[in-house]
């Protein structure tokens, strides 16, 4: 259990470590991708700005070309001050980018116009062109820095973008000096270019929905930007403030921008603004997906580990359960083996080898009243269910055959009992025999069991009539048969585990092989029954070879052997002194049995007490009477029969004396019969033909 927990901990640890590593990898990758993405975005905005720059440059160049191409027209118009207006209008007509054109003459160029003269044409919102002379005390262009700068440097120039007018439109003005034939400057031509469209152009091809481009003056003043519908003014203002350092960068997190210089003039700047959130949005989405999959994988992995651990636990539990079952089966096996007779008198021997731990076969025997009761049976099926039914059958046989001598009756009663509640439809083939150990008379009844072999001079199968097995129908009648065995005759009972023991080729052991073995056990053979059973078992196993034992292997062999039967008798008269003769008689009779001293003494005492009882009380005082004592044995038990013609008296009904009283109150009467009872295995009384017949039996094995 401890090692299991450890290994579980280990596994979880590995998974967590793996997960952490995957996560770290994913974070590194994410950061890397972010950086790459940011770089790419900057590159993209540079490209956008380059496009922008080209567009603006193209626009401005076009204006420059327009002026160059129309310079002759402007110069020609200068012949008369009023014709200048027409030239200005034509310039506006020529180039849609030009929204205003003026010509600022050097002071007193037209004496008639005074010091300052500046004809100006401008495009009106309704598309018409308005002309005007705009110079005056309020508007002295000679004080204009740019005008002065042109005069000083004698070069063309573009003004910085500026805002002008009620709508705060953004403009730039192209300033070109106009020379006369000798190279003196007559005037400066100014062409106003509306830049407000630049804001729209800057923002038509933005890479992200919320990114935007700005055009700023060198002073950082906003010239053009996204439309109000695209980006809120406050946001634009925010960025402009940021660029001008009005607010620190820390106040606008998540905002990123690139700036680039525009056109030849270093004072223009275009700003591309985008939000990092948006830039990272897709990669963040991917990252979220990645994390989700990692977590999912982890969960699946944990689930798998859990399942694995569970399976392992089940396996372990199953194997523990199996071990426990094994242990219980081992106990069941022992119990079942203990039910089988273990000590065998010389005339009978049996063995049972279960195919599984427990089996459905059984055999049993015992002797009663000089008769050997024996049985062999085979419960259908194998294993625990069979074994349980087998135990029931064995108990029933024991109980019933104690009271009933007739094998068919025993079967009948057993069958009735076994049929009750036999829902599993198991059945038992069963053979019951009762052999009179003195006469050799065999009574038997066969409930569907294999016919036993009878080995006398010939080897034959006992011609038994087959009745239905036990536990089939409750009212089955079992036929009983009788035969008499010759002395020396051997009977072999077996279950189909012997005849049907299979080898690897699925051949059965069969009866002929049994018969071969039995050849050596014909009448006259002094080979032991143990030898027979063990030989058959060995042969069957040798035959089966590697093939597993498929069924219980059970055999019971018995021999009618009057060699062990002995019977002696003595007649005493009713005098106490006769007890001495009785003592010698018993000692002589028991001598050949070579019994344990205590056992022999006990039997002698039991008999003496019973006989003394008769001597003392059976006959009227003074009347001579006889006591006949018969002793017999079959090698398995010793039986004394005491017969007298005295008063009818059944000593078995005498109450036992109280053996716990103190010496003064201790009665002595009844002690004798107590000793007889205690020292013998059974004691029975019969009144027969006017005689008392008392039987005392003792098993001697």
Partner 1 sequence: MTTTIQETDERIIAFLSGELDTAAAAQTEKDLQPLLNSKGKEIVLDCKELQYISSSGLRVLLSILKQAQSVGSRVVLKNVNDVIHDVLDISGFISIFDIE
Member of 230, 449, 559, 604 binding partner 1 (CB under 8 A) = 604
Q: What does the alpha-carbon distance between residue 141 and residue 134 come to, in Å, rounded to a whole number?
A: 10
377 binds partner 1 (CB under 8 A): no
Q: For the CB of residue 692, give the shortest distance to partner 1 in the complex, in Å.
A: 19
Do the Cβ atoms of 186 and 106 come closer than 8 Å? yes
Tell me how many residues contact partner 1 (CB under 8 A).
28
How far apart are alpha carbons 224 and 213 in whole angstroms?
9
Closest CA to 95 of 72, 61, 57: 61
- Site for partner 1 contains 143 (CB under 8 A): no
Quick one: which of 183, 655, 660, 690 contacts partner 1 (CB under 8 A)? 660
Region near partner 1 per CB under 8 A, out of 411-419, 420-428, 446-454, 594-602: 594-602
Q: Which one of residues 250, 420, 594, 664 is an interface residue with partner 1 (CB under 8 A)?
A: 664
Distance of CA 483 to the CA centre of its chain: 64
Residue 672 in the binding site for partner 1 (CB under 8 A): yes
Is residue 594 within the footprint of partner 1 (CB under 8 A)? no
410 close to 400: Cβ distance less than 8 angstroms: yes
- Per CB under 8 A, does 663 bind partner 1? yes
Work out whether 655 is an interface residue with partner 1 (CB under 8 A): no
E strand or H helix that includes residue 426: none
Query: According to the binding rule CB under 8 A, does residue 666 interact with partner 1?
Result: yes
Q: Return the residue of 60, 84, 529, 612 that touches partner 1, per CB under 8 A.
A: 612
* Residue with smaller CB distance to partner 1, 456 or 675: 675
Task: Give the shortest CB-641-to-partner 1 separation in angstroms.
Answer: 20
Residues 6+ positions from 694 with CB-CB distance below 8 Å: 610, 614, 641, 642, 643, 651, 652, 683, 684, 685, 686
Q: Closest separation between CB of residue 670 and partner 1, Å?
A: 9
Bridge partners, residue 454, by sequence? 460, 491
How far apart (Å, rounded) are the C-alpha atoms in residues 140 and 143?
6
Alpha-carbon gap, residue 652 to 526, rounded angstroms: 42
- Residue 608 in the binding site for partner 1 (CB under 8 A): yes
Q: What six digits make up the tokens of 554?
A: 């059970």
Per the DSSP assignment, residues forming a β-bridge with 566 are: 633
Q: How far is the CB of 624 from partner 1 (least distance, A)?
A: 18
Contact 696/609 with Cβ under 8 angstroms?
no
In whole angstroms, the minimum distance from the beta carbon of 659 to partner 1 comes to: 3
The stretch near partner 1 (CB under 8 A) out of 160-168, 463-471, 563-571, 667-675 is 667-675
On the 0-12 / 13-18 / 19+ scale of CB atoms within 10 A, 402 is exposed
583 forms part of the interface with partner 1 (CB under 8 A): yes
- Which listed range, 80-88, 97-105, 288-296, 666-674, lies at the site for partner 1 (CB under 8 A)? 666-674
Residue 585: Cβ within 10 Å count: 19
Q: Does position 698 bind partner 1 by CB under 8 A? A: no
Told to check if 598 binds partner 1 by CB under 8 A, we report: yes
Interface of this chain with partner 1, residues 343 to 372, rule: CB under 8 A: none
**Closest separation in Å from C-beta 662 to partner 1:** 6
Name the pairing type of β-strands 222-224 and 490-494: unpaired
Span from 111-119, 337-345, 401-409, 600-608 in contact with partner 1 (CB under 8 A): 600-608
User: DSSP assignment of 296-363, as one string?
Assistant: HHHHHHHHHHHHHHHHHHHHHHHHHHHHHHHHHHHHHHHHHHHHS-----TTEEEEEE-SSSS-SEEE
Which residue from 605, 629, 696, 700 is in contact with partner 1, where contact means CB under 8 A? 605
The residue range among 130-138, 312-320, 392-400, 603-611 that interacts with partner 1, by the rule CB under 8 A, is: 603-611
Site for partner 1 in 563-582 (CB under 8 A): 576-580
Measure Cα distances from 691 to 522, 607, 614, 621, 623 in Å: 43, 18, 12, 18, 16
Residue 674 is a binding residue for partner 1 (CB under 8 A): yes
**Least distance from partner 1 to the Cβ atom of residue 587, Å:** 10
Supply the minimum distance, in Å, between the C-beta of residue 579 and partner 1.
4
Between 556 and 631, whose beta carbon lies closer to partner 1?
Answer: 631
Q: What is the 3-state secondary structure (H, E, C) of 548-584?
A: CCCCCEEEEEEECCHHHCEEEEEEEECCCCHHHHHHH
Interface residues with partner 1 (CB under 8 A) are: 576-580, 583, 597-598, 601-602, 604-605, 608-609, 612, 659-660, 662-664, 666, 668, 671-672, 674-675, 678-679
């Amino acid at each position: 259990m401890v090692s299991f927990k450890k290994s579980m901990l280990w596994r979880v640890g590995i998974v967590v470590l793996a997960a952490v590593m995957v996560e770290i990898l994913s974070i590194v990758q994410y950061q890397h991708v972010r950086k790459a993405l940011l770089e790419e975005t900057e590159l993209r905005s540079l490209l956008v700005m380059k496009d922008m720059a080209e567009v603006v440059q193209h626009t401005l160049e076009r204006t420059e070309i327009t002026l160059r191409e129309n310079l002759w027209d402007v110069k020609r118009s200068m012949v008369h001050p009023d014709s200048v207006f027409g030239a200005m209008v034509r310039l506006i007509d020529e180039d849609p980018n030009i929204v205003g054109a003026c010509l600022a003459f050097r002071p007193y160029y037209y004496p008639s116009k005074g010091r300052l003269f500046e004809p100006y044409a401008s495009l009106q919102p309704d598309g018409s062109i308005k002309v005007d002379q705009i110079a005056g005390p309020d508007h002295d262009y000679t004080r204009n820095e740019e005008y002065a700068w042109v005069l000083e440097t004698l070069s063309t120039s573009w003004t910085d973008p500026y805002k002008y007018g009620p709508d705060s439109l953004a403009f730039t003005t192209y300033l070109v000096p106009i020379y006369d034939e000798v190279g003196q400057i007559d005037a400066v031509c100014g062409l106003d270019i509306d830049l407000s469209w630049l804001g729209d152009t800057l923002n038509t091809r933005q890479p992200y929905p919320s990114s935007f481009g700005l055009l700023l003056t060198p002073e950082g003043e906003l010239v053009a930007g996204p439309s109000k519908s695209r980006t809120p003014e406050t946001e634009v203002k925010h960025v402009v403030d940021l660029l001008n350092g009005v607010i620190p960068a820390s106040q606008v997190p998540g905002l990123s921008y690139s700036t680039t210089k525009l056109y030849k003039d270093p004072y223009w700047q275009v700003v591309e603004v985008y939000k990092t959130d948006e830039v990272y949005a897709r990669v963040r989405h991917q990252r979220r997906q990645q994390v989700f999959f990692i977590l999912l994988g982890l969960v699946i992995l944990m689930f798998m580990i859990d399942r694995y651990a569970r399976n392992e636990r089940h396996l372990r539990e199953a194997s523990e359960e199996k071990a426990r079952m094994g242990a219980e089966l081992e106990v069941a096996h022992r119990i079942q083996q203990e039910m089988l007779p273990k000590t065998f008198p010389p005339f009978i021997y049996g063995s049972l080898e279960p195919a599984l731990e427990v089996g459905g076969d059984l055999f049993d025997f015992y002797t009663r009243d000089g008769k050997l009761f024996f049985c062999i049976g085979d419960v259908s099926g194998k294993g625990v269910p069979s074994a349980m039914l087998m135990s029931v059958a064995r108990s029933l046989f024991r109980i019933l055959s104690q009271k009933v001598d007739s094998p068919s009756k025993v079967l009948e009663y057993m069958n009735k009992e076994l049929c009750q509640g036999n829902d599993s439809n198991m059945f038992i083939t069963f053979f019951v025999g009762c052999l009179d150990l003195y006469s050799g008379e065999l009574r038997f009844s066969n409930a569907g069991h294999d016919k036993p072999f009878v080995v006398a001079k010939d080897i034959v199968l006992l011609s038994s009539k087959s009745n239905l097995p036990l536990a089939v129908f409750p009212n089955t009648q079992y036929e009983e048969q009788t035969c008499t065995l010759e002395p020396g005759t051997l009977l072999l009972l077996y279950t189909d585990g012997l005849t049907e023991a299979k080898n690897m080729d699925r051949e059965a052991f069969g009866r002929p092989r049994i018969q071969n073995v039995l050849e050596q056990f014909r009448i006259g053979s002094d080979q032991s029954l143990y030898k027979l059973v063990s030989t058959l078992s060995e042969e069957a196993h040798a035959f089966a070879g590697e093939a597993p034992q498929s069924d219980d292997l059970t055999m019971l062999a018995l021999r009618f052997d009057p060699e062990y039967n002995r019977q002696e008798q003595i007649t005493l008269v009713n005098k106490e002194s006769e007890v001495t003769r009785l003592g010698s008689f018993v000692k002589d009779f028991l001598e050949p049995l070579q019994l344990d001293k205590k056992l022999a003494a006990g039997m002698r005492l039991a008999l003496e007490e019973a006989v003394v009882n008769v001597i003392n009380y059976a006959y009227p005082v003074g009347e001579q009477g006889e006591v006949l004592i018969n002793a017999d044995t079959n090698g398995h038990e010793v039986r004394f029969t005491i017969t007298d013609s005295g008063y009818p008296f059944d000593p078995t009904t005498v109450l036992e004396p109280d053996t716990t009283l103190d010496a003064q109150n201790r009665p002595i009467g009844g002690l004798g019969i107590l000793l007889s009872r205690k020292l013998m295995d059974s004691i029975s009384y019969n009144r027969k033909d006017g005689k008392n017949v008392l039987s005392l039996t003792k098993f001697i094995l």
